[in-house]
Amino acid sequence: RAPGVAADAVLENKSEQNERIGTRVTSVSKPTLTIYRPAKEKDTKAAVVICPGGGYHILALDLEGTEVARWLNEIGVTGIVLQYRVPRAKELAKHELPLKDAQRAISIVRQHANDWGIEPDKIGILGFSAGGHLAATASTTFSTRTYDAVDATDEISCRPDFSVLIYPAYLTGEKGELGVQLADEVRVSDKTPPAIMIHAQNDGVTCNSSIAYFLALKEHKIPAELHIFPTGGHGYGLRPTEHAVTGWPALVERWLRSISVLSAE
């Protein structure tokens, strides 16, 4: 059930097909989690909640969701795609409802960790663009539940154990107007989980988002990696191009080994 929504509310999700990105979810009123499990012989018992991007207007479900879950499966990680509420609610902050959904999603995964063969201290969050903003806010606001408890699930920690931000948006304001200063909703502390950031310098969504988050993590002595490439643009997901930035999956896999989420090779 969606946090803050009556139990008897009528909810509907809508999607359409797009030639470039695949499934494009245009409306989510009922958040969902879809689980993709790795082969048993590859299973590392780690899991990642995946937040597709789309400007908090739509969700690029295939490009930045299901395709990423299948890649995670290849490295032995359970991929869990979160369809959080979109489009933006006009009367609320752009991330307000999605953050409720992300907090509850992490608690749900941790609650079912034993049943799903997941180690409860190896649950991360990964997001693209607006989903990267969502992953960052979920990684920095976990000490305060942003909604009234729905049930006992909400007594379980919603802190991600690590985060992966791929061309994150909005971390320095709606249009990057804050330079390398983080927006108010991104509150890095000594308890913020480790993170890796990937960005291209020529991205229309300023790479200052990734730089600002990295600098805040550094200030709090949180382990972090930042990779900024000269070219590559925005919205490439997992799909390779001629730009080096699209080799990011290998960097993330190596980083996951460095923080012991995956075993060292």
Q: Is residue 5 part of a domain?
A: no
Q: Is residue 22 part of a domain?
A: yes
pTM: 0.94
Could you please report the per-residue DSSP string of the chain?
Answer: --TTS-TT-----EEEEETTTEEEEEEBSS-EEEEEPPPTTT--SEEEEEE--STTT-EETIIIIIHHHHHHHHTTEEEEEEE--BS--TTS-TTHHHHHHHHHHHHHHHHTTTTTT--TT-EEEEEETHHHHHHHHHHHSTTS-SS---SGGGGS----S-EEEES--SBTBTTSTTTTS--TT----TTPPPEEEEEETT-SS-THHHHHHHHHHHHTT--EEEEEESS--S--TT---SSGGGGHHHHHHHHHHHTTSS---
Residue 217: CATH number of its domain: 3.40.50.1820
Domain that holds residue 137: 14-258
What is the maximal distance between C-alpha atoms in the chain? 50
Q: Is residue 133 part of a domain?
A: yes
Q: Is residue 3 part of a domain?
A: no
Q: Is residue 79 part of a domain?
A: yes
Q: Is residue 8 part of a domain?
A: no
pLDDT score of 11: 59
Query: Which residues have C-beta within 8 Å of that of residue 100, sequence separation ≥ 6?
Result: 2, 3, 4, 85, 146, 147
132 by Cβ neighbours in 10 Å (0-12 / 13-18 / 19+) ranks as buried
Q: Which pairing describes strands 22-27 and 14-18: parallel, antiparallel, or unpaired? A: antiparallel
Q: Is residue 28 part of a domain?
A: yes
Q: Is residue 6 part of a domain?
A: no
pLDDT score of 5: 64
Residue 16, pLDDT > 90, answer no
pLDDT score of 193: 99
pLDDT score of 2: 74
Residue 77, pLDDT > 60, answer yes
- The confidence band for 83, taking pLDDT boundaries of 50, 70 and 90, is very high
Work out how many domains the chain is built from and give that number: 1
